[in-house]
Structure 1
Amino acid sequence: MSLTIAIIIVTVLVSWAGFNNDKLLQRLLLWPPAVSRGRQYDRFIGYGLVHGDFMHLLFNMFTLYFFGRLMEQFYGQYLGPWGFLGFYASALVVSALPSYLRHRHDPNYATLGASGAVSAVLFAFVLLQPWATIYVYVIPVPAIIFAVLYTGYSVYMNHRKADQVNHSAHLAGAAYGVLFTVLMEPRVLGHFMASLLSP
């Protein structure tokens, strides 16, 4: 079984349990006081295993399924068979840091969901195949166009703070996916630039 499938299975099972068990949900979501005062650092991983609702879970796992398997093979060449798991787990941590640091003294703030790590996987994929077709619902969009629109939307919504979505996690995850991949294999950047010129 691939690591991508294993991550999806664990996330679905834990999220599903969290839908019916508020105590479990509250224990796993990223609540700043539990980290800063209670030293429950496991929440930097646990929050990515629970989701707000079924559609939130479905969208994240659907995206991870289609892009995670390719990226798992790619990272495996450089980091070994467990490399993708390390990348995914570290992306969960890094994508949560901006919102955690901003709200570390706010007992009314909490965040959950795998969106930041999934964004890291997706944007790493864009580096490799910028002109691949991504289907947004049923609309085909080139990966690089989607990445630009997604980034712009996330920046705008993060600035507005008009909803409960953790847009900063999306942005931090996307940036981390790109930076991690380029630092791991600098030639990816040249490949990306050459690909952009050859749609």
Structure 2
Amino acid sequence: MGNLDLVTIIIIAANVIISYKGFGDYGFFDQYKFNVGGIQRGEKIRLFSSGFLHADTQHLLFNMLTLYFFAGTVINYVGIVSFLLIYIGSLFFGNLLSLYFHKNEYQYSAVGASGAVTGVLYSAILLQPGMSLIMFFIPIPIPAYIFGIGYLLYSIYGMKKRIGNIGHDAHFGGAIGGYVITLILSPWLFQTNLLMIGLLALPIVLLFVLKKAGKM
């Protein structure tokens, strides 16, 4: 982890430059953030541009650190082009799930690379499920797949209870994007990691079961 490839540097630089432009220019920020009303008026660029804006420096730093730690793992397994497909695809999946859940809330807005970054994280877990993570608040190694499943279960809870000013649905949608696109690009995983594919699918299935049952 922590392999800083050129493509990762370019993505981080784009996030930093565009986010800082947004910090100092509210008109720019307002024009390109995710906003349900704006998207439904035809401003589809927001589905992409909002993934390069952030609420503040802390938000930006957390997302870029997470990307830094996991991008190298994904690139090493699938290459740069497939990594970009996973990153951009996860960004769109995250925003599309947000749009699906908030389609009747015309004022709903959000920003951040969290969907794309969560997609990269979930992709890395699929590709290397045996790796361990050490979180700031839990100083012992946690198997990556346990973290991934737990994170999505927490996201479901956060979506249901609307916890904090956090786009839990974008995180979840990004994870779905990372999961689906990685499996399409790396079908060999079905031969080597079938059990892990099934385990990581459980929170995704649970979300749509709850939605269909009207509990989300």
Establish whether TM, by shorter chain, passes 0.5: yes
Between the aligned partners of 1:126 and 1:82, the Cα distance in structure 2 is: 19
Q: 1:161, 1:101 → 2: CA distance?
A: 15
Q: Give the Cα–Cα distance (whole angstroms) in 1 for the partners of residues 196 and 55 of structure 2.
A: 37
Tell me how far apart the structure 1 counterparts of residues 142 and 167 of structure 2 sit (CA, whole Å). 24
The offset of 1:65, in angstroms, is 0.8
2:67 equivalent in structure 1:
64
Change (3 A) 1:195 1:98: closer
CA RMSD of aligned residues (A): 1.9
1:194 is displaced (CA, Å) by 7.0
Which of 6, 20, 25 aligns to 1:21? It is: 25
Q: Which of 105-114 and 3-12 deviates more?
A: 105-114
- Given that 2:74 and 2:127 are in contact with CA atoms closer than 8 Å, whether structure 1 keeps it comes out as no
1:44 correspondence with 2:44: no
Equivalent in the alignment of 2:151? 150
Q: Is the 8 A contact 1:4 1:72 kept in 2?
A: no
Report the Cα offset of residue 43 of structure 1.
1.0
Assess if the C-alpha contact under 8 Å between 2:158 and 2:168 holds in 1. Answer: yes
Number of the residue aligned with 2:176: 175
Q: Deviations over 1:173-193 (max 9, x none)?
A: 112211111122221133224
Helix, strand or coil at the partner of 2:103? coil
Give, in whole Å, the separation in 2 of the partners of 1:107 and 1:36. Answer: 8
Return the letter of the residue paired with 1:90: G
Q: Distance in 2 between matches of 1:71 and 1:85?
A: 10
Change (3 A) 1:98 1:20: same
Residue aligning to 2:203: none
2:37 matches 1:33: yes
- The alignment's TM-score, normalised by the length of structure 2, stands at 0.81
User: For residues 91 and 76 of structure 2, what CA distance do their matches in structure 1 show?
Assistant: 20
Alignment size in residue pairs? 191
Q: Give the percent of matched residue pairs that are identical in Structure 1 and Structure 2.
A: 32
Q: What is the alpha-carbon distance in structure 1 between the residues aligned to residue 37 and residue 102 of structure 2? A: 9
The one-letter amino acid of 2:62's match is F
| TM-score, length-scaled by structure 1 | 0.87
Whichever residue aligns with residue 27 of structure 1, its letter is Q
| Contact 2:86/2:177 (8 A) holds in 1 | no
Query: Which aligned pairs between 1:2-151 and structure 2 lie closer than 5 A?
Result: 2-37=6-41, 39-76=42-79, 81-137=80-136, 139=139, 140-151=141-152
CA distance in 2, matches of 1:195, 1:131: 10
Match of 2:185 in 1: 184
Runs of 4+ that moved beyond 4 A: 193-196
- Give 5+ residue unaligned stretches, structure 2: 198-216
**What's the CA shift for 1:195?**
7.7
Contact 1:120 1:178 in 2 (8 A): yes
Provide the C-alpha distance between the structure 2 equivalents of 1:195 and 1:150, rounded to a whole number of angstroms: 15
Residue 101 of structure 1: CA displacement?
2.6
